[in-house]
Amino acid sequence: MAGYFHADPAEEGQHWTGWILRRPTTHYVFALLLIACASVSSHWLLVGSLANLEEDSTVINTSGRQRMLSEQTIRLAGELMVADSAREVASLRQKLTTSRDLMRDSHKDLLARLDGMPAVNAESEPIRNAYFGGRTSLDDRLRGYFSSIDDILAAEDDAYSVNMPAYRAMVTAHRDGLLGRLDGVVKLYELQSQERLRQSEQLHVYLVMGALLLLLVEALFIFRPLVNRLTKARDDLIEQNAQMARMAVSDTLTQLPNRSGFGQRLDTLIDAQSGKDRCVAIMMMDLDRFKNVNDTLGHNAGDRVLVEVGQRIRGQLSTKDTVARLGGDEFAIILRNLSGPQDASGVAKKIISSVSRPVDIDGVEASVGASVGITIFPDTTGTASELMKCADLALYQAKNNGRGQYCFYDPVMQEVVVRKGHIADELRRACIEDHLEVFLQPIFSFETGRVEYAESLIRWRHETRGLIPAGEFIDIIDEFQMAAHLEAVVYRQVFGRLAAWREEGLDCPTITLNVSGVNLRQPDFCDRLLQSARSYSVTPSKIALEILETVFVDRGSETVISNISKLNKLGFTILLDDFGTGYASLSHLMDIPVDGIKIDKSFVQDVGQGGASEQIASSVLSLAQNLDLMTVGEGIESPDQLAYLQDKGCDYGQGYHFSKPIPMDEFEELLRMGAFGINSDHTWIRERRSGT
């Protein structure tokens, strides 16, 4: 035993050499078996690694698609909230349904994969916590998100607005970190994939080193193809992840940064706050008349216009500046290295001029315009979203100034928004508490002296400001989408009073209603109006509708024309109000069924003085007579104006010369007195003006 444990090394080496030489075939076969075992083990390890890698790739792609679909659904929902036509609403609803279904399927797929994982281990626990952990889990957020989409899709078309609860819930979900948590899930799966790959590579190294000790060259030939395949698969996965990251911050149509990418760049710029970037302009821009391009040339043409506009804006900027497409026809711009606001003014002018040039679409010119809102950082401070909001307020003011304009942000704009919001809240209460009251202003026939029409005008009896005319709050009605509330008030008072007069046997004039473009752009407006009239047994012949011609150049003009044609066929009288102050008036008279026109008071006030207004009034009256249309002169305040209009063949007159708008109760008393009967010498007028 002692000799065994203390053998001479030289003798031991000779012993092993002799043993190998004595049994060469056995040991050769043994060596080959070891190589084969290592090769087979490595092969199955690599096959398993590739399978895991493909599985991880599928899961990561599914998670990434979940995130992209979330971006897509919120964008589609936002476009649906401001959709202008039934066709556009239907298209967006279909797209939103498809995106929701794909997102829900991805969610189910990921949950199924989690169910297939072991209950608790180092890989599954972080992902399970990401999905089901926290006070409000990602799973609960997604289910609530899907529920919000379902509510939006189940809503009526006229319920869509940016204040819709379901849409606000979607926006809140995004703002509260839904996208961040989806990104976190993708990151966890990527880390899991990398950890698996690291472990597989480590074990693979051990096996390869063992095989190389026996036959290095053969090992290289065995494993090299599989190693190359594994490396290529890993590189492909990295490239796919990088591509998804780029897509998350890029607009697929114009290849410009999207809203998310723009926000990231602006956040970075704000955080820097140093060097030449201390003076930065943030611009918000959208296109004027872009809806007309889509309506007349199609959405493909509209897409080509958006791409061209993006390139034109890019051409006016330096390499350090940024232009992004936020969605629809809305763009955002960052101008860096400015010496002062005057630099931003110059760029804004160039952009507006460049964008306004016609775009050739297969031989057809598409013409759009641009309006720009600008805020200067750090003169205006805040987060990226707050700066963009300031630029948005400036953009809104630029549009109010006439479009094709640029405007700088002023803190007063925010005060105006707050004040408008306060007025809107008061108006909503006024509608509920019945503080809005309809007044009537008589319209006289010059031929008979009879009051044949009366225009309904809304007044707000404010508890502190007294009686407020509609002109001071009608913009609030349109901007805050309160037309339906005002519509209900007017219909209830006018139709209810007409029904009462009919039952009493009073012969009342035809009542005119001022119809807003907001209402006319709603496909169900005609049905609502007709249903309200029928509920009071009021016939369309007792109602005339006054429509501003400016509604024909706004979005949704096709729906407007369709509604007017339908109303005319139902028997409502159609009057074109403030004629001559809008656009393309003659074309409107050709396209829509109009019964009469009201000559704007701005032309009536200067008649008899030989100026341009007098010539316009005379031309309008001549045109109306040739087209066999009734004419109403508005704003008559003097006998000379009355005499001129009568001499030129005007049919009706309205204005303070006859009567101011009067409350309906007083109007009713005059009906009972017979004051609106034939009165060719205008005795009633003199009595009204003298107070008798």
Active site residues: 329
Cβ neighbour number for residue 347 with a 10 Å cutoff: 22
Residue type, 668: E
Residue type, 473: F
598, 630 Cβ separation under 8 angstroms:
no
549, 520 Cβ separation under 8 angstroms:
no
- Burial group, residue 45, by CB count within 10 angstroms (0-12, 13-18, 19+): middle
Pairing of strands 359-361, 330-335: unpaired
CA–CA distance, 313 with 251 (Å, rounded to integer): 15
Sequence-distant (6+) residues with CB within 8 A of 367 are 289, 356, 358, 359
CA–CA distance, 284 with 390 (Å, rounded to integer): 9
Q: Which of 440, 441, 439 is nearest to 637 (CA)?
A: 441
Half-sphere exposure of residue 138: CA atoms within 13 angstroms, side-chain side: 26
CA–CA distance, 300 with 297 (Å, rounded to integer): 8
CA–CA distance, 563 with 557 (Å, rounded to integer): 10
631, 577 Cβ separation under 8 angstroms:
no
CA–CA distance, 401 with 424 (Å, rounded to integer): 22
Residue type, 162: V
Tell me the backbone φ, ψ of residue 82, rounded to 5 degrees: -115, 15
Pairing of strands 662-663, 451-462: unpaired
CA–CA distance, 372 with 446 (Å, rounded to integer): 49
CA–CA distance, 295 with 84 (Å, rounded to integer): 11
Helices (H), 505-608: 517-520, 525-535, 557-570, 585-591, 601-604
CA–CA distance, 112 with 130 (Å, rounded to integer): 15
Angle at 554 between CA 552 and CA 559, to 5 degrees: 65
Token readout for 431 is 């509608």
For tokens 């339908």, name the residue: 566
313, 284 Cβ separation under 8 angstroms:
no
596, 577 Cβ separation under 8 angstroms:
no
For tokens 């909503």, name the residue: 428
DSSP structure string for 351-406:
HHHHHTS-EEETTEEE--EEEEEEEEETTS-S-HHHHHHHHHHHHHHHHHTTSS-E
374, 409 Cβ separation under 8 angstroms:
yes
533, 539 Cβ separation under 8 angstroms:
yes
Token readout for 126 is 């972080």
Q: Which 3 state secondary structure label does DSSP give 606?
A: coil
Token readout for 330 is 């809305």
CA–CA distance, 568 with 594 (Å, rounded to integer): 8
- Burial group, residue 265, by CB count within 10 angstroms (0-12, 13-18, 19+): middle
Residue type, 419: R
CA distances from 115 to 123, 158, 559 (A): 13, 42, 51
Q: Which of 137, 74, 76 is nearest to 107 (CA)?
A: 137
Sequence-distant (6+) residues with CB within 8 A of 75 are 327
